[in-house]
Amino acid sequence: MKWFWWVRISGTVIPAIWWQVLLLLIYTAAVMCLENYVPILYKPFPDHLITIIGTVIGLLLTFRTDTAYNRYWEGRELWSTMTQEMRKLTRAIWLGVKEVDAKDIVEKKSALNLCAAFIVSTKHYLREEYAYDYEDYEGLLEHLPKFYMPSSNMPLEKQLKEGKGKRSEFSAYDQSTPTNIPIEMSYYLSSYIKHIDETQMADNWTVATMQNSVASLVDCLAGFERILRTPMPLAYSIHLQESVWLFLLAIPYQTIGDVGPWFSIAIVGLASFCYLGILAIGFEIENPFGYDANDLPLEDFCNVMQLEIQKILVTDPPVAKNWLYDPENRPFGPMCSLSASQLSDLPLHEAKDILRSVSQTSIISNETGYRDKDTIKRQAKRRRSSVRGYQAL
């Protein structure tokens, strides 16, 4: 049943923390055994010390988790913005660029391939996968010259060390060679827009729309890089983890004299599960672009966008006059049997009179419908009251 989702293991941090919880349970059991021989172990700890420390650490963990989730949510917002701008760009290319001969179709299809390549390469770039030969690149990148573009995902010194000796020989590129393929795709997209502008294959508004979309895509990429290169400060993460462990290690000495040895083991197990679990969640969602169960489903996002682009290619750009004056188009609604073509042949004042009449009738009908809904609700309420009264008898 669906309500059993909360007891499952997959998608949780239990696989990452179970051994730590087990280690603390073993430690607590050892302390309990030792207490039989040294019964003064718990006395140096005041009753309120653990409570105060636990409250402070709880607040720090809350801040840690909130910060990590904000990064997760920002990553989702940026991907949504990138999807939105990509839809604008593909629509402008497919509908706004003229089609005079076959080469125009070829050029438009090549540009849409670049759009798909930008999406896919962004996914790989965020996962620090820098090769040009991934399976989902097939048919998108083979014809493009490849060049080394520094990545913002890692320090430049490290990139120079890893990429040394590989820049002049493109066949030597592998996953460990840093390069920024999405930026390369933005250059090629910009060159296509420049080509369209120079050949006057699109109006100024369409060209400006495409330029703005490419600029927005690059802005989204910079936002992704900001998330990747601005993790929680190392000193804060280390100190928080050390504090959590010191707190959990001190709990047995507080609880020995209060609840006894066996309940102390249960308390430590519960506390370690909660505290270490929250700590692990923060670490897992801090980078939302990986392969963890709780990371963003980038594969699905990319597949949806690629499918959208493919759907565009199998559909002819719509021509307004074709659907506006289709015989089945009755723009004034079911209350007027005249089609768009028939209405367009009428004098202007007559068409306006028909529109006013139809609209007024529609308003009255809607108001009556709302009243009818209220009447139906009242009748249903009376029926329910009657049924309850009958059942009571």
What is the model's pTM? 0.78
Taking the alpha carbons at both ends of the chain, their separation in whole angstroms is 38
Looking at 113-122, 250-259, 289-298, 369-378, which range is the least confident one? Answer: 369-378
In terms of pLDDT, which residue wins out, 378 or 217?
217
Half-sphere exposure of 63 (CA within 13 A, CB side): 10
pLDDT band at 182 (very low <50, low <70, confident <90, very high): very high
**Poorest-pLDDT segment among 25-29, 30-34, 144-148:** 144-148
Say whether pLDDT at 298 is over 90.
yes
Which distant-in-sequence residues (6+ apart) come within 8 Å of 313 by Cβ? 94, 109, 112
Flag whether pLDDT at 131 surpasses 80: yes
Phi, psi of 113 (to 5 degrees): -60, -40
Distances (CA, A) of 365 to 330, 335, 368, 372: 19, 11, 5, 10
pLDDT at site 383: 46
Report the pLDDT value the prediction gives residue 153, as an integer from 0 to 100: 61
Tokens of 121: 């390469």
Sorted by where each begins, the domain ranges of the chain are: 12-41+232-286, 67-231+292-313, 340-392
Which whole number is the average pLDDT over 14-33?
88
pLDDT in tens, 164-175: 544 444 444 444
Question: How much is the average pLDDT of 195-200?
Answer: 94
Distance (Å, rounded) from C-alpha 60 to C-alpha 279? 10
Give DSSP secondary structure letters for 151-166: -SSS-HHHHHHHHTTT
pLDDT at site 392: 42
Helical H runs in the chain? 14-35, 49-96, 102-126, 156-163, 181-198, 204-229, 234-259, 261-286, 298-313, 320-324, 340-344, 348-392
Mean per-residue pLDDT for 51-71? 86
Percent share of the chain, pLDDT over 70: 78
State the chain's mean pLDDT as an integer.
82
Higher-scoring residue by pLDDT: 350, 157: 350
Banded pLDDT at 44 (limits 50, 70, 90): low
Question: For residues 38 and 24, which has the higher predicted lDDT (pLDDT)?
Answer: 24
The top-scoring range by mean pLDDT among 38-42, 81-85, 95-99, 267-271 is: 81-85
Answer whether residue 278 shows pLDDT above 70: yes
Residue 360 has pLDDT above 60, yes or no: yes
